[in-house]
Structure 1
Amino acid sequence: MNLKTDLFRRTALLLGASLALTLAACGGGEMGEELIPKNGSPKFPAVMLTLVHVNDHHSQLDPFPNTELLIDGRPTRVELGGFARVTSAFKSYGNKDNVIKLHAGDAVTGSLYYTLFKGEADAALMNTVCFDAFALGNHEFDDGDAGLKVFLDHLRNGSCKTPVLAANVKPALGTPLAMTSATRYIQPFSIKTVKGVKVAIIGIDIKGKTTNSSRPLDTTVFEDETEAAQRTINALKLRGLRHFVLLTHQGFDADKAMAAKLTDVDAIIGGDSHSLLGDFSAYGLPGSGAYPTQLTNKDGKKVCVGQAWEYSKAFGEMNLKFNNKGEVQSCSGQASLLIGSSFQRQDEAGTWAAVDEATRQQIVKRLRKSPLRVTEPDATAAETLAGYAGQVNAKKAETIGTASEALCLVRVPGESTNRSGGVAGCETANTLARGSDAAQVVAEAFLAGSLAADIAIQNAGGVRIAVPAGTISMNTAFTLLPFTNVLVELPMTGQQVIDVLEDAVANHLDAGQSSGSHPYAAALRWRLDMSQPRGSRFSQVEVRNRTTGVWAAIEPARNYTVATNDFIASGKYGYTTFGTVYATGNTVNNYLLYTQTFVDHVLAQGSIGRPAAADYSHQSVITAAGVALP
């Protein structure tokens, strides 16, 4: 038996025992088997339950100013989100006794608040809410198990003692997350009593994406999401519970698929896919589905699914009505965007200016029953944030250049989600063959930062925001590229480069993993047909000579030097061919933070814009459905 197998076996045995202990520790002794009668079906009090929730705030604690939405059919700028507004939204339910407050993961990484404070600022703001449960997301593991422990220590140092949930994550005993106990930091579930009724909240983290796209220890076991969820439901059901809410971080599509496979589940509150559920078409934003999405579980009973977009911009409210059999009778609710009470519109000269007071009051009144929720920031949360904002703002204030036009954010060309929603000039970016301007420019920065590279490759998921036209600050750079990756150079044959591209697309098309693996490149271009099988998707792959600027067909047997970030270079995100080369040790690590390459590139250029059409990596794209993109 090898070491990893033995560790897995011992961890599984320990956690099997710990589940029983946790059942008691989380209130198992007071759940009461008296709810299960000796004869007949169990009876449960009919109850109305409200789940209020956020997900994927990614250290985005400040609001987004000048966000353009349609209000009454007119382009209108608002201040959107900010964690102080999130806190205010949660506190508005303070006088209700049937509310459960939930966070569906990916609290950290994504802004200078994480770069500078490593989760301390996020934990402090989360503790102004006092969540009833927080589910781990994949990005919680970006700085490894030890980095996650730092964040969770900050979270537990507050007065809230928020339960941290992931029924399918098993850290090995003796590692940072389980130094003395397998459930010291992570529990499989938590139990909340609502009007005398016990409600189980079960956490689930995405397995493949976390192990492939973050940095958990090899000894930390990630179990199958559905199996872990059902096992935990079954164990709790034996204790007399009948109300089960899954708090997941695996994406909207995975939540829908899981719902049909599970018995007894009533609701799924999710994250990871940054899905904006609900009808926001009147406000200029595309939705990803209904809120709540109503499905049936394996028992044929109703199960309701919800998610609340991203970056402290939105807030979800799901209302569940249970009958006396403990079944969901109905569900309703809404995801809302949290906005300020000031509005700007263009005057006759095209200048944005605040609307007059009468118009402002009319807008506020008309929005009262809309999915745009006018919300003032919570004073306590704002004061807490101010304690960190000074250092962040000082660094943010450093201007490094300008963008002559918007650099739109796209993962896969043709995707349904417009990740650049609200950024002027990016209204149709996701429908175009060129894909991500932002990822393309980042790849160009890599190439400029490496003196030896022939080409540079960057994965779509490592680029986090669209860059609006105008000033580019240090904050833009660290929000665009928030991770601690460094630039590395790998020697590869032309065939290996083609294999890398095929690996990256197969990761999301064939393996069903994150679309963040989708490739972008500098000095490398191609035609992509995603309707073809693996190995036949890329054609007319060409390399641009760094000296002459002339494009020529890639030579399969020729050696090239490829610059990329060390994360995908090590084989993460399905970049298997990269990983094989990286494992030989025949690489050069520039020890240059990949964010710094972008900063240096902007400083050198002064002003950046979209590359020339001929320099985009995607020269033509056919979607998986066979649609040729413009």
Structure 2
Amino acid sequence: MPNVTPITLSIAHINDTHSHFEPTPISLAVKGLEDRVYANVGGFARIASVTKSFKQETQNDADGFLFLHAGDCFQGTLYYSLFKGEVNATLLNMLNLDAMALGNHELDLGNAAVSKFLDQITFPFLAGNWDVSKELPNKAFPVKGKAPLLAYDPDLKIASVLTKEFGGKKVAIFSVALDKMADIAMPDPDTPFVSSKETIINTVKYIHEEIGTPHIILLSHLGYDQDLKMAEEVEGLSVIVGGHSHVLQGDFSNLGLGDMGPYGRQINDTLVVQAGCHSLALGKLTVTLDGNGKVTAHSGGNFLMLGRSLAMDASLDQNLPDETFQKAKGYLLEQPNVIHCRGDEGIKQVIAERYRPAVDKLKSDVVTNLPARLRHIRVPDEKGGSQIAPLVCEAMIYSARERGYEVDFAIHNAGGVRVSLENGKLTAAEVAGRLLPFAIDLILYKPTGLQVMQALEGAINNATNNGVEGTGDGSFPYTAGLRYTYECCKPKGQRITQLEYQTLGGTWKTVELEKIYVAVSSAYTSQGKEGYDSLKCMSELPCSIYVTLADSFIEFARTKDTLLAPEENLLTYLPCQSND
């Protein structure tokens, strides 16, 4: 490919916004003050204002402007719990994105949620290593053929490419996501993900030969470490705008938020950027690429976006004393990585009128009372296991039986429960927004006793790295209607040494390995993720009972005047004794 004209681009970028449309209270350190102060940081309205200003500021110094989102807009807040992808589509459209990458959380509920999202958005949605070419034609909500989707091209073995032209200078943009998407999300089986690295290599070659530009931007949802690896191992990428790992590049130690190294990590001739998460910061990058697409200069940074309010606590109800307020305000105004701004009025109005009333209603909806703190821990310690996860399992059984299903027991992974609960009133907002924020359906399935035994052991092996390289302790299983003993030091395949289920009459019986039982779990667990592999092959197809984790827990909690820890411990976890 012949050498082409250099180009200077201004790029605004965000990632992993996770439905954080409104500002989030964050504690910040202020030099000269002993206590940290709280500020409302970020939000879509401020992102819109700062992006518009950035575009205007750089229009005389850059050949073109791009606004990019590196994936994961779904999940995260009550807005998603209530409105799913619809609110994201509405507000992301109002941001006027040039492109967005597919993230793993977009596929937490399978292809259908993405299909509905594609019907509503007005910007390109890039998923360059997602092969949807063989998606079955009889689905109610397919993704194949939707205009905004730029997916994998199986004939050319490349990502579909978005081309932007600025004054005759072309910029090529494409995206890849995690290869092992099926391990952490729920893409439909007929739409697999192919190798991200091979896709990148093939696509760069195609862009050079067929599109004729060396100016290439990879919109990545691989994670920061993988982005750095791609920059090192693959030639021809100009800029990688990344997400997934929530890395806030830059030195924010002036605000008590740590130092993740310089903004913009250049490896060989490729620049890697990422902008944190939860709509707190906006990345503002100006980059110059030479005639071969190599980075020759770059400037910019990640910026926290603050309004006028400062307070003493996260509720923002306790105002700072005037002298303290003035000192904090003055300090924050001087910080180079802070932008003080007013939010876009149009976005604020849409949130306030169309969506916030339902969120506020949940915040005042008390579903039960907690007379004592309920502790959540993933892997049991000397104090025992989670007090909350078994209650979540009890709720699953309650919801299933209320809908007429005969269920023997429930299993849930510890990572699906996010927080401990303090004593006092428990609101629907606390359940859906903090305790069980992942809007995932409950699934009915029919495993054999052997599959249940294998799933429990596999999940604990995974959580504790016992003979396997696990994916994290979130897979540890909690149950209702099922009790078991796990002995770490037994040979692999023999570590579940007691396994019983509770009949409707309340008696406990040994689980028979060849017998088929009826179980309920989240869609995530029931599909065999993270050690639950034995649940992947059922004698009958699993089916949704059309209630989410949070909704199930809320309807269960409403039946209780007070919610107490389970009376019986259903698991015995026996770790190997240390030789120390």
Give the TM interval when normalised to the shorter protein: 0.7 to 0.9
Q: Which residue of 1 aligns with 2:428?
A: 474
User: Cα–Cα, structure 1 residues 341 and 249, in superposed 2: closer, same or farther, change >3 Å?
Assistant: same
User: In the alignment, residue 600 of structure 1 is paired with which amino acid?
Assistant: E
Conserved in 1, the CA contact under 8 Å of 2:448 and 2:513? Answer: no
Instruction: State how far apart, in whole Å, the 2-side matches of 1:505 and 1:340 are.
Output: 47
Instruction: State how far apart, in whole Å, the 2-side matches of 1:627 and 1:597 are.
Output: 44
User: Cα–Cα, structure 1 residues 250 and 514, in superposed 2: closer, same or farther, change >3 Å?
Assistant: farther
Q: Using the TM superposition, give the Cα deviation of residue 381 of structure 1 relative to its aligned residue in structure 2, in angstroms.
A: 0.9
Instruction: State how far apart, in whole Å, the 2-side matches of 1:284 and 1:469 are.
Output: 30
Q: Which residue of 2 aligns with 1:343?
A: 310
Q: Which residue of 2 aligns with 1:248?
A: 220
Of 535, 549, 560, 1:578 maps to: 535
1:39-62 Cα shifts (integer Å, max 9, x gaps): xxx2532x5433321122233323
What TM-score, normalized by structure 1, do the two folds share? 0.71
Q: Using the TM superposition, give the Cα deviation of residue 225 of structure 1 relative to its aligned residue in structure 2, in angstroms.
A: 0.9
User: Cα–Cα, structure 1 residues 411 and 614, in superposed 2: closer, same or farther, change >3 Å?
Assistant: closer
Q: Which residue of 1 aligns with 2:155?
A: none
Q: Using the TM superposition, give the Cα deviation of residue 190 of structure 1 relative to its aligned residue in structure 2, in angstroms.
A: 1.9
Instruction: State how far apart, in whole Å, the 1-side matches of 2:391 and 2:307 are.
Output: 33
Of 46, 70, 80, 1:85 maps to: 46
SS in 1 for 2:324: helix
Of 119, 123, 139, 1:153 maps to: 119
User: In the alignment, residue 292 of structure 1 is paired with which amino acid?
Assistant: Y
User: In the alignment, residue 577 of structure 1 is paired with which amino acid?
Assistant: S
User: In the alignment, residue 351 of structure 2 is paired with which amino acid?
Assistant: L
Of 444, 458, 466, 2:412 maps to: 458
Deviates more, 1:476-485 or 1:609-618: 609-618
What TM-score, normalized by structure 2, do the two folds share? 0.76
Q: Using the TM superposition, give the Cα deviation of residue 335 of structure 1 relative to its aligned residue in structure 2, in angstroms.
A: 3.0
Of 127, 142, 163, 1:166 maps to: 127
SS in 1 for 2:213: coil
User: In the alignment, residue 66 of structure 2 is paired with which amino acid?
Assistant: I
Instruction: State how far apart, in whole Å, the 1-side matches of 2:241 and 2:464 are.
Output: 23
Q: Using the TM superposition, give the Cα deviation of residue 305 of structure 1 relative to its aligned residue in structure 2, in angstroms.
A: 2.2
Q: How does 1:360-509 map to 2 (within 5 A)?
A: 360-368=325-333, 369=335, 371-389=337-355, 390-401=357-368, 442-443=392-393, 445-446=395-396, 456-460=410-414, 462-463=416-417, 471-479=425-433, 480-488=436-444, 490=446, 492-493=448-449, 496-503=452-459, 506=462
Instruction: State how far apart, in whole Å, the 1-side matches of 2:563 and 2:336 are.
Output: 38
Of 259, 262, 266, 2:238 maps to: 266
User: In the alignment, residue 457 of structure 1 is paired with which amino acid?
Assistant: I
1:569 aligns with 2:519: no
Instruction: State how far apart, in whole Å, the 1-side matches of 2:567 and 2:336 are.
Output: 42
1:190 aligns with 2:162: yes
User: Cα–Cα, structure 1 residues 527 and 341, in superposed 2: closer, same or farther, change >3 Å?
Assistant: farther
Q: Which residue of 1 aligns with 2:156?
A: none
Unaligned stretches of 5+ residues in structure 2:
153-158
Identity across aligned pairs (percent)? 26
1:356 aligns with 2:328: no
Instruction: State how far apart, in whole Å, the 2-side matches of 1:438 and 1:591 are.
Output: 22
How many pairs does the alignment contain? 548
Instruction: State how far apart, in whole Å, the 2-side matches of 1:279 and 1:536 are.
Output: 48
SS in 2 for 1:222: coil
Instruction: State how far apart, in whole Å, the 1-side matches of 2:350 and 2:269 are.
Output: 41
SS in 2 for 1:169: coil
Conserved in 1, the CA contact under 8 Å of 2:161 and 2:173? Answer: yes
Q: Which residue of 2 aligns with 1:320?
A: 287
User: Cα–Cα, structure 1 residues 357 and 240, in superposed 2: closer, same or farther, change >3 Å?
Assistant: farther
Instruction: State how far apart, in whole Å, the 1-side matches of 2:383 and 2:302 are.
Output: 31
Instruction: State how far apart, in whole Å, the 2-side matches of 1:359 and 1:124 are.
Output: 39
Q: Using the TM superposition, give the Cα deviation of residue 102 of structure 1 relative to its aligned residue in structure 2, in angstroms.
A: 0.7
User: Cα–Cα, structure 1 residues 328 and 543, in superposed 2: closer, same or farther, change >3 Å?
Assistant: farther
Instruction: State how far apart, in whole Å, the 1-side matches of 2:228 and 2:164 are.
Output: 24
Conserved in 2, the CA contact under 8 Å of 1:526 and 1:619? Answer: yes
SS in 2 for 1:202: strand
Instruction: State how far apart, in whole Å, the 1-side matches of 2:296 and 2:383 are.
Output: 45
1:552-593 Cα shifts (integer Å, max 9, x gaps): 9x989698875422442133455211223xx11398976553
Q: Which residue of 2 aligns with 1:49?
A: 9
SS in 2 for 1:92: helix
What is the Cα-based RMSD across aligned positions, in Å? 4.7
User: In the alignment, residue 599 of structure 1 is paired with which amino acid?
Assistant: I
1:603 aligns with 2:546: no
User: In the alignment, residue 485 of structure 1 is paired with which amino acid?
Assistant: D
Unaligned stretches of 5+ residues in structure 1:
1-32, 37-41, 157-161, 414-430
Deviates more, 1:242-251 or 1:397-406: 397-406
1:186-243 Cα shifts (integer Å, max 9, x gaps): 872223345764322211122322x344443433342211111221111111233122
1:308 aligns with 2:279: no
User: In the alignment, residue 164 of structure 1 is paired with which amino acid?
Assistant: F
User: Cα–Cα, structure 1 residues 201 and 83, in superposed 2: closer, same or farther, change >3 Å?
Assistant: same
